[in-house]
Structure 1
C-alpha cells in the first residue's frame, strides 16, 4: 500500500497540538522525532521533556490530497515562525510498533485509567477505564494541556453534570467526562472530520449516543443546554481563540459552573485570565512545564 508522509518541524511545546490537528484531518499515525531522527517517547505526566526541536511526522493514505492540508496547517498555526512543512512519498512500514512497545496505561487523579486495547488494566471499584489507541485519530493524553484537563475532570467532575467540550478534537476530554459520570456532553469543533473521529472513539468506548452530541459551532445554541447553562465547560485549544470566545463561554456556563481552559503557554496566561475577569472568578492556575490551565467559576448573572 502506498503512503504519503507529511513532516512538520516545530518546537516541542507545539508538537502535540499540531499532531492532534493532523489526526483530525485524517492522519493514520503520528510519530514524534527529535532533530537527530531519534524516536521521541512521551514523558510521563509531570515529567519535563528534554528535546527542543521536534519533527512531527504524519502518515496518510496516498489517495489523500495533502497540499490543502499543508496550506491549512500554515494558516492554523500562523503565529509560529519556526514551522516548516514537507510532503514525501513513503514505503510501507509498521508505524504503530514504537507506540505498542512504549505506550503505557495512565492514571489521572487516582480515578481515570487511559489505556490502549492491548493493555490489561486492573481498575479498582471506584476507578473507570477509557480506551485510547494511539494513531487512531486520538490525542495521546500525556501532553500537559490534555493531562491537566483530564486530572481536573477525574478529580472534580460531579456525576450528572452537563458538560461542554469546546474544540473537542477527537473526543478524549468528552469521553473522559462521560466515563466519569457526566449526564450529557456537548462536543463542539470547527472540523467535521474531528466530529467523525469523536463518534468513532465514543463507539470504541461503548458510549450511549443519546448521551452526547458532536456538532459544528454554528449548529450549537444555548437552548441545547437548557436555560440554566452548562455545569462545566472545558476548552483545550489555543490562547487567542480562548480570548475571543470569552463572551460566548460566559453565556454558556451557568452561575456557579466551572470553566477549564488549557492550551495556554505561561506567557499567555495573564491575557487569557484578563479576558474572563468580568464573568468568572479565578479558582486555580495550574502549570505543567511551559503550559498553564486556567480553572475558574462563573459569577452570578
Structure 2
C-alpha cells in the first residue's frame, strides 16, 4: 500500500463538485488552492498570519483540489475521476482544464522520514535540544532536553521556539510556577522544568499534543512537577502563575491578553511568541492597553517575542 496525492485542476465553479468526487473515492478531506479566495486576497485579519504569496499562484485561471488516498494502485481511481469530470458538463458545469495529476508521496515508513532532518541543536545560553533517537556530547554546564515532537509543534528548530527558550532562561526564577499555553510537544515546559521551575502547567487544545507533551515530560523526568491538560486556552487553568509563556499566533495572543490578568501573579512575566513581524504592532498595542508593561521585544527572522510584566 502507498499514499497517493491527487491534484485536480479545475474551474472555480467546479470546486465543490470536484471535492465531492474526491470524497466519494474515499478521501477523508480535501485541500483547495484558490488564488481568488476572498479571504486570501484580502488577507483577512486573524485568518492569515503568514503565507508565501508565491505558493498561492497558479499558471491557469481556476483552482486545484487535492486529496490523499491510500491504494495499491491509483489507475482505476484516476479513470473513474476522469469519467466523472466529463459527466459534470451534463449538469451545466465546466470543469476545465480538468487535468488530473498524481504522485506517490508517502512510502511504507514515511512517518519516520522526517527524523533524519532533526538533529541536536543548541539554543539560548546553555540549552541543548536533542531528539530521543540521537546521542549528544554536552558540556558540563549545558542542559539537555530530550524530545520527540511526533505530530505536535515544537522541536526547537523554529525561531519562535528558540526565542521563547532564550526568554525563559532570562526571566524565569527557580521558584516560579510556570504556565505554558499551547504547549505543543512540551518543549517549553521541559525547558522551564530543567531550569528549576517549581511547578509547570501545560495546556493544549489538541489531544495529540497533550499525549506527546506528557510523553516528553516523562522522558525528561519532570512528571513530579508537571501537569499537562487538554483545554481551550485558559479554560482549564485554575490558579495564577509567576511566568506565563504562549508560543502560538498573533490573533490568539490578542484573545489571550483579555484574560491574562486572571492567570498571572502580580510582578509576573508574560512571554508571547509566534508573532509574525507584520502583526507585531497590533499585539504590542493590545498588551499595552491591558495594563501590562512591555519589558522587551526581540526579533529573529520574520518572527518576534514580547516579554511583558504585570504590576505589583
**TM-score past 0.5 threshold:** yes
Q: Structure 2 vs 1, CA of residues 152 and 6 (structure 1 numbering), >3 Å: closer, same or farther?
A: farther
Moved more, 164-173 or 188-197: 188-197
Matches within 5 A, 1:9-20: none
Q: Structure 2 vs 1, CA of residues 98 and 220 (structure 1 numbering), >3 Å: closer, same or farther?
A: closer
Q: Out of 67, 86, 95, which is 2:29 matched to?
A: 67
Matches within 5 A, 1:56-95: 66-67=28-29, 78-79=47-48, 86-89=66-69, 90-94=106-110
In the alignment of these two chains, the number of paired residues is 234
Q: Out of 284, 299, 304, which is 1:287 matched to?
A: 299
Classify the secondary structure of the residue corresponding to 1:286: strand
Structure 1 gap segments, 5+ residues each: 8-63
Matches within 5 A, 1:266-285: 266-277=277-288, 278-285=290-297
Deviation at 1:208, TM superposition (A): 1.9
Instruction: Give the TM-score normalised by the residue count of structure 1.
Output: 0.67
Classify the secondary structure of the residue corresponding to 2:164: helix
Distance in 1, matches of 2:153 and 2:284, equals 29
Quote the residue 2:268 is aligned against: 257
Deviation at 1:288, TM superposition (A): 0.5
Classify the secondary structure of the residue corresponding to 1:140: coil
**Contact 1:280–1:299 (8 Å) recurs in 2:** yes
Q: CA RMSD in A?
A: 3.1
**Contact 2:177–2:198 (8 Å) recurs in 1:** yes
**Contact 2:183–2:204 (8 Å) recurs in 1:** yes
Distance in 2, matches of 1:6 and 1:157, equals 49
Deviation at 1:273, TM superposition (A): 0.9
Whichever of the two has the greater Rg, that structure is: 2
Q: Structure 2 vs 1, CA of residues 154 and 96 (structure 1 numbering), >3 Å: closer, same or farther?
A: farther
Deviations 1:205-261 (A, max 9, x none): 23224532323136524xx32xxx211101011111111111211221111111110
**Contact 2:3–2:107 (8 Å) recurs in 1:** yes
Classify the secondary structure of the residue corresponding to 1:139: coil
Structure 2 gap segments, 5+ residues each: 8-25, 40-45, 57-63, 70-105
Deviation at 1:93, TM superposition (A): 4.1
Deviation at 1:179, TM superposition (A): 1.7
